[in-house]
Structure 1
């Protein structure tokens, strides 16, 4: 036959691959049977096709050994791509593979292959990819690999390799990704690694490397990801690691990366913040086969590729679980785009450098289990952190009360004998006096029942305030909003009347923003019904950009989005005035048993639909699409008639203001963040889609779903029924309501897909919500929400 290509990938084929069917396909060049359920062994007939260039059998259930006939004399010598990853193959790697001297990519990862890496592989001088991670390989890394001068990706992690790193690997100057993590490697780190100027990802964690961290690693000017955790490295942290910051050229990855976040940080088998693996062509569910996943509870999986802009910096730095000492270099604060910094479990001393606040994108900061002294720098208040751990040090003074620092539990600051202030016990007067200039305006966050009491005072105040403002607005407002939006002296006002008078009314109504009217604190300031924004020198926005953002918010007109009445700004204060919502936030309502019971199933369905319509409007019906980026239960406000409105656009991204639509920080609230925010800089509407789903689950469960978010997608998870998830404070819904809730939660689960490309848009989600249930005879309370046979059209 003259057939040259056969692609049957991504189906549900099962059984053995029929070897006889390939005997007469002498001209076949491409054979792809990936992402099926074929079992049995690899047929010899497939391995001896003379013209075969691409063989992809990945992500099946194939077992047995790799046939020795593959790349043997006079057969399959033209093979360029060989993908056998994610199967159940055993035995060794055939030496004969080195006969395929045209091989460009070899991927045998996620199998049970043992033995040594054949030294003859060094003959594959045109090889781009040598991907063997998650097998049972042992022995040393062959020095002959240094002859692979075209090599771009060398992934040997999760094996049992021993010995040292061959210094000759520095000759492979085309390397982009080198991961040797989770092996038994030892010896010093070669200084010659600094010659790999194109290296983007270097993973050497969980080995037994000794000696210092080579300062030469700072010469890797493309380095985005550096993981040296879980070794026996000593000495200081080289300040040179930050040398590449701001000098990096734009980078793009075409591979599908996966960040397996470690959720068992106190498990001594897991010495890092997670692992970066190549998931190209691998099902998410198949990761449960990784032995390391069970030990480290890798429940959160982030998918995606990456691209960076000009003048970028490292985004991931993990040096934890070593024996490093001396000070933390202040130069690390030059890494503007650094998202994760983990220096925990070392012997670092000195103070926490205030300059670390220069890493404006920092989302995860772990300095725990060191010997750090002094106070926590107030400069860290400017960071939008989603995780911090400063526990088990020798810190002293008061925990800074602005920004995100005071929102974390006491466990993140514990075992620092001199540290005090919320969330720790109150400070003694001597400590308060020492920090009086910084702290008398920074009191503890009001939470729980106290927040509810203060909310009542707040609403009374703001009701009076808004009546005054609305009366003045009705009598003097200008018809042209573009003319009204202007910079006038030092006061920026949406209304066309005396801004100074408005300013005085707001200050008087809140008694100069007295703490008794404060219901919460956030990274951008204190929240009253009039939202007061904190201004710092390094966060001041350019007037032109800021005026554009305010103008876009003024033009929003939707019944499910809190109306922005005005904005005032002076040299001392900035604040926004929003529509008054009588019942407060959704989270507050759900925390109160009485209020939660009043929120029956019908009202909860309406609230979910209100939120969906609001987000669809923001994404598709505004003159420029807007991504909110902080959809949470706290930012969904409820009116007296139970109408739900989206509020707080402090982190919103208006996509047309810059061509790249990139964000330089991990914005949002922990527990609601889309997982891809860990590696993506490009802002998309799928961020909000994920957060929408979390809020929907919170709405019907009565509290934040927490660990259920990750458990839902576990392959070994038992059936998840509607009855399992519903708020027990309400009686079970009747059949009709149950069917509607079932459809809604089914949509929500689709919106939680770890891969953003698989999530529906908000427009699509609304269409799904209007779809009728599949059949009338289904017990929707007990039907499995995760059953893929129950489709939504």
Structure 2
């Protein structure tokens, strides 16, 4: 009996000490072998992996052990910056349950054999890495896996059918990859799912699975950017646990189903950016948990249901639809309403007067047909920060309570019918950064209390009936950049302190009744680019000190009572606009203004004269000289006559040509220029040729005044399809474009033989030259490439969204993005650009000839011959891929009939490991962002997150369906948003 006890104790001791010890030693060996063989640890986070460390390996960074047994149960490397291939050997630790490799630099494809080693895991996260190829198949042993997260990699191909072998799977996230198959119905067999996130992939057009209701435990459904088509199936009524339903930015059609009203647990419904139509169903009575509802950018019509007003909403977003009807009064009874945004619809009627008894911080009803007065209690909780009411028909006064809304920072209420005086406190709210009251009927004076709005950067109050003097307290707005108080009834003199506003860039006080003289002490206006004091009652002389302003390009002093001469000091300015017409100026027009470009800005001054500018009066000729001088000149006349005759004979051969040149050329100058067409034409020689294209040749020309310009000489007029009138109309449109990321058109000339376009010269040529040229003088690193991407996007966004009418470039490519001496990008070559007419039905335009360049043309052009802004977005997406990959969009390495977009999405053969990118189609995959990026820019691990984000934006821009592409304004936001597009 004693022997049996002893044996039993020995067995216990063996299991308590010997077995764990041997198991621990084996785990240590596995961990160290993987670290030394596969892992790159640039941050040294695994430096304490030492087998002699106390309590190894449980004390090591990233390792977690069971407290009772001491066995390794979890390896967590999230955001460690570690690189290497998939460390499958970790899974040889039989007790391992959790492997988290998220947000690192792991890459390459994952073989089925490596994947199968991890079949005993419960939790597997390899998200935010650079894995490529197809998602590995799941063998039957993966029956304990509850969490699978592979989002934000480069996996491609189909969603594997073997996912159905994961009976316990609760969370599946495959979003933000390159999966390009169909969305399968079998996903609904995973009935234990609580989270299903598959969005942000370039799937083939697919419907939402009809049996989606089988996922009765689902809490989060993320199908955004999934190329969904068709209608939402009624089976969604069976999603009894759903909290977040996100199917935004797809191509869903039909009506929003009433079955949504049966989702009693729903908190967020996001369906914006689809093609839903019809009325919004009255489904909200039982949705007591809903706090976000967004159906913007659809084709909805009708009224907002009364039941929506009774929700405890945090965010209501119905913007950019075609909704009509009144806003229900009961909406005001929502105590939890924080954001109220219904802009750009067709709502009518009045706002509920009880709105505001909530923690409202953003109120945006702009772009509707709303009328009547404003709710007086909109800021009752003193939390309202943004107030956007513009482009409606509101009238009456601004409620007095708004003058006590100290939380307000951003106010835009222009283009309404408000009247009477503003509450005194409304002028000087301390948190103001932006105040826009333009085009209303406001009255009264600007009070001294405006001085307390010290953070105000833009004050836009033109087009009202404000009167009285401009108070000196306005000079305390030390952060103001733009001040537009034009078209009012201000009187009195300008406060002299206004010249001390150092940050001021644009000052417009035109069309008032301001008297006195223009201030002379302007030395603090170093950033002032535009000064408009036109149509006032200013007197005295034009101060010569204005000529010292370093960046002033716009000066309008027309319609005043100014006298004296035009100061010669103004010749130092580089003015695009100079207008002193309709004053009392006198004297000879200075030589620097002796150009037809400035004539319109000089008229209406009877005392001004010129030798040759019409219709200005001709300056008096010198009085008759003395008889003595006449006699001397007569004596020399006979001596000189012979020489003069010879000169005239020689000149007569040139005069017809000169006369013809004058009569043939029709000139338009868009900037102040110091040259003529003769100066330009003389330099159009082969020695100055720097490029040629389908529409003409480009020359680099150094003018006599030292200025360097780029001159595009278009082919003979008979080879150009457009008439001269169309050409001039388009050129004038482009000549008015003013943006830092758009190349300036200085001058155009139309002749019988050819036409010329004169642009500012870009020292570093085109982006295409720098990326692909044989003689590359400078290789762009990633920070510079990223800056080029953002700048070019801003230029295109300006054309699409800020020009009226909008301008579609139609030939966006790397060769049309020019780089100045600091490598700042400027969009150029508008040979195909068109202004989109707003008064025609639809914005698409059919083309009479090919628009764009091969490799950049959007796919829909092939079968519609119609383009719009989304066509430019596609082309820009190609440029982004070009920046990342470093190859032309139609590089021969992509294979036959493949451009860069098809190559990235479908894959391309790679000859050797480390060369080429893409996935080969025989089942093994090598699409790796580490290999995909242009290695000439020496990318570092710190760049890869940003590169991955830009890559995601590029894929979004090059979506096959135009509706799935973002606007250029949204592209700018996405490029600047480092978090895009990684759904949580």
Question: So what's the TM-score if we normalise by structure 1?
Answer: 0.54
Q: CA deviation at 1:326?
A: 2.5
> Residues 856 and 875 of structure 2 are in contact (CA less than 8 Å); yes or no, is this contact kept in structure 1?
no
Aligned equivalent of 1:117: 351
Secondary structure of the residue aligned to 1:15 is coil
Q: CA deviation at 1:47?
A: 5.1
Whether 1:181 aligns to 2:388 is: no
Q: Which stretch of structure 1 is more off in the superposition, 157-166 or 336-345?
A: 336-345
For residues 334-376 of structure 1, give each alpha carbon's deviation from its aligned partner in whole angstroms, at most 9, with x where no partner exists.
3333333221211223333244563333333322222334215
Q: CA deviation at 1:150?
A: 1.1
Aligned equivalent of 1:763: 883
Whether 1:621 aligns to 2:780 is: yes
Aligned length: 515
Q: CA deviation at 1:201?
A: 1.4
- Over 3 Å counting, the alpha-carbon distance change for 1:774 and 1:345 in structure 2 is farther
**Pairing 1:124-143 to 2, within 5 Å after superposition:** 124=358, 126-143=359-376
- Over 3 Å counting, the alpha-carbon distance change for 1:405 and 1:612 in structure 2 is farther
> Residues 750 and 760 of structure 1 are in contact (CA less than 8 Å); yes or no, is this contact kept in structure 2?
no
Whether 1:695 aligns to 2:828 is: yes
Q: CA deviation at 1:450?
A: 5.3
Secondary structure of the residue aligned to 1:324 is strand
Aligned equivalent of 2:585: 418
- Over 3 Å counting, the alpha-carbon distance change for 1:40 and 1:528 in structure 2 is closer
Whether 1:334 aligns to 2:500 is: yes
Aligned equivalent of 1:239: 472
Q: Distance in 1 between matches of 2:408 and 2:314?
A: 19
Whether 1:87 aligns to 2:321 is: yes
For residues 28-67 of structure 1, give each alpha carbon's deviation from its aligned partner in whole angstroms, at most 9, with x where no partner exists.
1111111222111112224531211111112221111111
Aligned equivalent of 2:442: 209
Determine which of 267, 286, 293 is the counterpart of 1:48: 286
- Over 3 Å counting, the alpha-carbon distance change for 1:34 and 1:216 in structure 2 is same
- Over 3 Å counting, the alpha-carbon distance change for 1:112 and 1:382 in structure 2 is same
Determine which of 204, 218, 221 is the counterpart of 2:451: 218
- Over 3 Å counting, the alpha-carbon distance change for 1:239 and 1:775 in structure 2 is farther
Q: CA deviation at 1:456?
A: 10
- Over 3 Å counting, the alpha-carbon distance change for 1:109 and 1:383 in structure 2 is same
> Residues 686 and 759 of structure 1 are in contact (CA less than 8 Å); yes or no, is this contact kept in structure 2?
no
Q: CA deviation at 1:176?
A: 1.0
- Over 3 Å counting, the alpha-carbon distance change for 1:716 and 1:328 in structure 2 is farther
> Residues 675 and 754 of structure 1 are in contact (CA less than 8 Å); yes or no, is this contact kept in structure 2?
no
For residues 447-475 of structure 1, give each alpha carbon's deviation from its aligned partner in whole angstroms, at most 9, with x where no partner exists.
22354489799x99xxxxxxxxxxxxxxx
Q: CA deviation at 1:713?
A: 13
Q: Distance in 2 between matches of 1:406 and 1:597?
A: 23
Q: Distance in 1 between matches of 2:295 and 2:960?
A: 25
Aligned equivalent of 2:527: 361
For residues 131-183 of structure 1, give each alpha carbon's deviation from its aligned partner in whole angstroms, at most 9, with x where no partner exists.
11122222222323342311111222222222212222122111111222222
Q: Distance in 2 between matches of 1:674 and 1:54?
A: 28
For residues 730-769 of structure 1, give each alpha carbon's deviation from its aligned partner in whole angstroms, at most 9, with x where no partner exists.
xxxxxxxx7489699x999889769999984872597454
> Residues 619 and 627 of structure 1 are in contact (CA less than 8 Å); yes or no, is this contact kept in structure 2?
no
Whether 1:398 aligns to 2:398 is: no
> Residues 42 and 67 of structure 1 are in contact (CA less than 8 Å); yes or no, is this contact kept in structure 2?
yes
Aligned equivalent of 2:488: 322
Q: Distance in 1 between matches of 2:783 and 2:838?
A: 35
User: Once superposed, what is the RMSD of the aligned Cα atoms?
Assistant: 5.4
Q: CA deviation at 1:84?
A: 1.3
- Over 3 Å counting, the alpha-carbon distance change for 1:52 and 1:672 in structure 2 is closer
Aligned equivalent of 1:264: none
Q: CA deviation at 1:107?
A: 0.9
Aligned equivalent of 2:381: 148
- Over 3 Å counting, the alpha-carbon distance change for 1:212 and 1:445 in structure 2 is same
> Residues 71 and 99 of structure 1 are in contact (CA less than 8 Å); yes or no, is this contact kept in structure 2?
yes
Q: Distance in 1 between matches of 2:301 and 2:278?
A: 6
Segments of 5+ residues of structure 2 without an aligned counterpart are: 1-239, 603-607, 612-617, 620-671, 689-701, 710-743, 759-764, 804-815, 862-866, 899-957, 966-984
> Residues 225 and 317 of structure 1 are in contact (CA less than 8 Å); yes or no, is this contact kept in structure 2?
yes
Q: Distance in 2 between matches of 1:37 and 1:155?
A: 26
- Over 3 Å counting, the alpha-carbon distance change for 1:160 and 1:27 in structure 2 is same
Whether 1:448 aligns to 2:676 is: yes
- Over 3 Å counting, the alpha-carbon distance change for 1:389 and 1:519 in structure 2 is farther
**Pairing 1:486-501 to 2, within 5 Å after superposition:** none
- Over 3 Å counting, the alpha-carbon distance change for 1:232 and 1:35 in structure 2 is same
Aligned equivalent of 1:65: 303
Q: Distance in 1 between matches of 2:299 and 2:848?
A: 33
Q: Distance in 2 between matches of 1:366 and 1:224?
A: 18
Q: Distance in 2 between matches of 1:755 and 1:225?
A: 35
Q: Distance in 2 between matches of 1:56 and 1:628?
A: 33
Secondary structure of the residue aligned to 1:175 is coil
Aligned equivalent of 2:245: 6
Secondary structure of the residue aligned to 1:394 is coil
Aligned equivalent of 2:147: none
Aligned equivalent of 1:408: 576
Determine which of 753, 765, 769 is the counterpart of 1:610: 769
Aligned equivalent of 1:602: none
Q: Distance in 1 between matches of 2:281 and 2:895?
A: 43
For residues 280-327 of structure 1, give each alpha carbon's deviation from its aligned partner in whole angstroms, at most 9, with x where no partner exists.
xxxxxxxxxxxxxxxxxxxxxxxxxxxxxxxxx112211111111223
Aligned equivalent of 2:556: 389
> Residues 686 and 756 of structure 1 are in contact (CA less than 8 Å); yes or no, is this contact kept in structure 2?
no
Aligned equivalent of 1:299: none
Q: CA deviation at 1:14?
A: 1.8
Aligned equivalent of 1:200: 433
Q: Distance in 2 between matches of 1:97 and 1:156?
A: 18
Whether 1:105 aligns to 2:231 is: no
Question: So what's the TM-score if we normalise by structure 2?
Answer: 0.44
> Residues 446 and 519 of structure 1 are in contact (CA less than 8 Å); yes or no, is this contact kept in structure 2?
no
Aligned equivalent of 1:651: none
Determine which of 703, 711, 723 is the counterpart of 2:849: 723
**Pairing 1:250-649 to 2, within 5 Å after superposition:** 313-356=479-522, 358-373=524-539, 374-375=541-542, 377-385=544-552, 387-396=554-563, 397-398=565-566, 405=573, 407-408=575-576, 412-418=579-585, 420-421=589-590, 422=593, 423-424=598-599, 446-449=674-677, 451-452=679-680, 519-520=704-705, 527=707, 609-610=768-769, 621=780, 625=784
Q: CA deviation at 1:595?
A: 8.3
Q: Distance in 2 between matches of 1:19 and 1:376?
A: 70
> Residues 215 and 240 of structure 1 are in contact (CA less than 8 Å); yes or no, is this contact kept in structure 2?
yes
Secondary structure of the residue aligned to 1:333 is helix
Secondary structure of the residue aligned to 2:402 is helix
Q: Distance in 1 between matches of 2:890 and 2:568?
A: 48
Q: Distance in 2 between matches of 1:674 and 1:96?
A: 36
> Residues 506 and 530 of structure 2 are in contact (CA less than 8 Å); yes or no, is this contact kept in structure 1?
yes
> Residues 528 and 549 of structure 2 are in contact (CA less than 8 Å); yes or no, is this contact kept in structure 1?
no
Q: Distance in 1 between matches of 2:552 and 2:874?
A: 21
Q: CA deviation at 1:789?
A: 5.8
Segments of 5+ residues of structure 1 without an aligned counterpart are: 246-312, 433-443, 461-516, 521-525, 530-584, 600-605, 630-654, 656-660, 662-666, 677-684, 727-737, 778-785
For residues 212-245 of structure 1, give each alpha carbon's deviation from its aligned partner in whole angstroms, at most 9, with x where no partner exists.
1122112111212211111111122223223031
